[in-house]
Structure 1
Amino acid sequence: MTDLDARYGRHRRTTPRWLWPLVAALGVTVGIAWAAWASWTDVPVFQARVHSYEVIDAQRTQVDLEIFRDEPVALTCRVFAQAQDKVVVGEKNVEVPASSQSPVRVVSEIRTERRAVTAVLDSCEPS
């Protein structure tokens, strides 16, 4: 026993040496399994965006959506109109019928409670 051991005591390892490599290996395995599962899910491929919008008056905003899709799947897109203070002043669900044509443009009108300054696409989901 050295003088330092006598003065401060000897540190004992409380966990076995193999524990942290095992935890790391399990974490990597779970991560790879999740990535493989997520990449093989059967989700229809589509994209949507606001092509243009027009504030018609204080109660109406027109939005023009552009839909790109690989398969003819029907979609429901949620759009909303925002005022200058970024408050949502109107919203609408827009039904996009299934079509093999791509891209597809859909024009819809959002009723607003006060004047909007922009139209935003919130989400699109298969119907």
Structure 2
Amino acid sequence: MTDLSERYGRRATPRWVWPLVAVLGISVGVAWAAWVAWDDVPPYQAEVFGYEVESDELTSITVNVYRSEDDLPLECEVYAQAENKAVVGETIIEVPADPRHTRVRADIVTEQRATTATLRACEPA
């Protein structure tokens, strides 16, 4: 009988090394991605709750605002669009600093009938 290690050679590294390296690499990648995603969260968020086209000259919009800080007043810019996607009206909503979670409503005066109302951005006042 011949020794198989002499005939075929020995493995330089054990079989468990590469799966361990893969698991460690994936773990580090997931931890880094979570850290980056968590780091970029602003202290406020806003979303359109709803809108209503009142007439050819008026559209109302309701915006929900969520904040992690009590004393952060915001200004939210909203606009109305016509069927051809043209902006037909816009306004700025001033959101008071308190309470943390609030719903604000605003009227947008339009130059022609709108089909939708959208939130462009919110920024600290």
TM-score bin (small chain): 0.5 to 0.7
Match of 2:113 in 1: 115
Match of 2:94 in 1: 95
| Structure 1 consecutive aligned stretches of length 4 or more whose deviation exceeds 6 Å | none
* Residue segments in structure 2 that go unaligned for 5+ positions in a row: 1-34
| One of 59, 62, 70 as aligned partner of 2:60 | 62
Indicate the RMSD between aligned Cα atoms, in angstroms. Answer: 2.1
Work out the CA distance in 2 between the residues paired with 1:81 and 1:112.
Answer: 7
How many pairs are equivalent? 90
Work out the CA distance in 2 between the residues paired with 1:118 and 1:110.
Answer: 11
Q: Report the AA paired with residue 79 of structure 2.
A: F
Match of 1:10 in 2: none
1:1-127 maps to which residues of 2 (within 5 A)? 39=39, 45-72=43-70, 73-99=72-98, 101-127=99-125
Offset, 1:102? 3.5
Cα pair 2:69 2:100 within 8 Å, conserved: no
Deviations 1:25-76 (A, max 9, x none): xxxxxxxxxx98xx4x8x8511001100000000000000100111121000
Work out the CA distance in 1 between the residues paired with 2:76 and 2:61.
Answer: 12
Q: Report the AA paired with residue 124 of structure 1.
A: C
Cα pair 2:81 2:89 within 8 Å, conserved: yes
Offset, 1:115? 0.2
* Residue segments in structure 1 that go unaligned for 5+ positions in a row: 1-34
TM-score, reference length from structure 2: 0.66
Percent of residue pairs bearing the same amino acid type: 44
Work out the CA distance in 1 between the residues paired with 2:44 and 2:123.
Answer: 9
Deviates more, 1:69-78 or 1:43-52: 43-52
Change (3 A) 1:122 1:77: same
TM-score, reference length from structure 1: 0.65
